[in-house]
Amino acid sequence: MCQLVGEAIVAATGIPVPGPVVGMAILFCGLLVRGNIPEGLAATADTLLTHLSLLFVPAGVGVMLHAELIGAEILPITVSLIVSTLLTIVVTALVMRLLGRRGDPR
């Protein structure tokens, strides 16, 4: 239901965010307001998590399907992966340093 509402919001407003992402935000906010996770939702989530590895099969098939293209663009892909990983580490460190100062009584 949250995904459907998210899709409707995206269709009505034209915001450049996927409907499922908006739906997940709605679900998250609803769970925050509720204060706990309903038992049925927890059971469903646990079932999905036990079979999470199956969700990687389509991605693996896509990689194998486009192996030639990936091979031709291996240098830009590798550079972007390394740069984005390093950038993520630096930003995370800066955020942690900033948040660490907040809790420091000095």
Residue, of 81 and 101, whose pLDDT is higher: 81
pLDDT recorded at residue 105:
60
Rounded to whole angstroms, how far apart are CA atoms 64 and 77?
Answer: 16
Give the tokens for residue 31: 């769970």
> How many whole angstroms separate alpha carbon 10 and alpha carbon 17?
7
User: What does pTM read for this prediction?
Assistant: 0.53
The tens digit of pLDDT for each residue in 17-48 reads 999 999 999 999 999 999 999 999 999 999 99
Residues 6 or more apart whose Cβ sits within 8 Å of residue 18 = 10
Instruction: Give CA 40 to chain center in angstroms.
Output: 23
